[in-house]
Amino acid sequence: MTKPTGHSCAASGCEEQILLSRMMCATHWRILPGNLRDSINTAYRRRNMTKLAQLAVRAVHIIDDAEQMEPLPGFKKVVNDGS
Ligand SMILES: [Zn+2]
């Protein structure tokens, strides 16, 4: 029996392959506040896809903001140098 293969992390620009049951790779997941992670897990368990989609948008914004402040160690940030 083969498990379904994964998908890529929800964070913008991240191509880390993760399980279908995860929204983000471990690196990005750790950035999220605990209460948001709990809400995401609850929405997932309840198969509340509308709620989950809303939470995903919030999560992606939080990660975008965090990465603008400081690049994560080991995270390859694409710098747009075309000023
Ligand atoms: Zn990621």
Nearest-angstrom CA–CA distance, 13 and 36: 21
pLDDT of residue 23: 94
Measure 17 CA to ligand 1 centroid, in angstroms: 8
Whether 52 is covered by a domain: the verdict is yes
Whether 1 is covered by a domain: the verdict is no
What is the pLDDT of the chain when averaged over all its residues? 86
Place of tokens 């809303």: 54
What residue numbers bound the domain in which 47 lies? 31-72
Measure 50 CA to ligand 1 centroid, in angstroms: 22
Nearest-angstrom CA–CA distance, 32 and 63: 7
Measure 83 CA to ligand 1 centroid, in angstroms: 26
- Please report, as a single letter, which amino acid is at residue 36: L
Number of domains in the chain: 1
Whether 46 is covered by a domain: the verdict is yes
> How many CB atoms are closer than 10 A to CB 36?
14
pLDDT of residue 8: 94
Whether 65 is covered by a domain: the verdict is yes
Q: Which residue has the higher pLDDT, 82 or 10?
A: 10
Whether 9 is covered by a domain: the verdict is no
Measure 15 CA to ligand 1 centroid, in angstroms: 7
- Percent residues over pLDDT 90 in the chain: 66
> How many CB atoms are closer than 10 A to CB 10?
19
- Say if pTM beats, i.e. exceeds, 0.85: no
The yes-or-no verdict on residue 61 having pLDDT over 70 is: yes
Measure 47 CA to ligand 1 centroid, in angstroms: 22
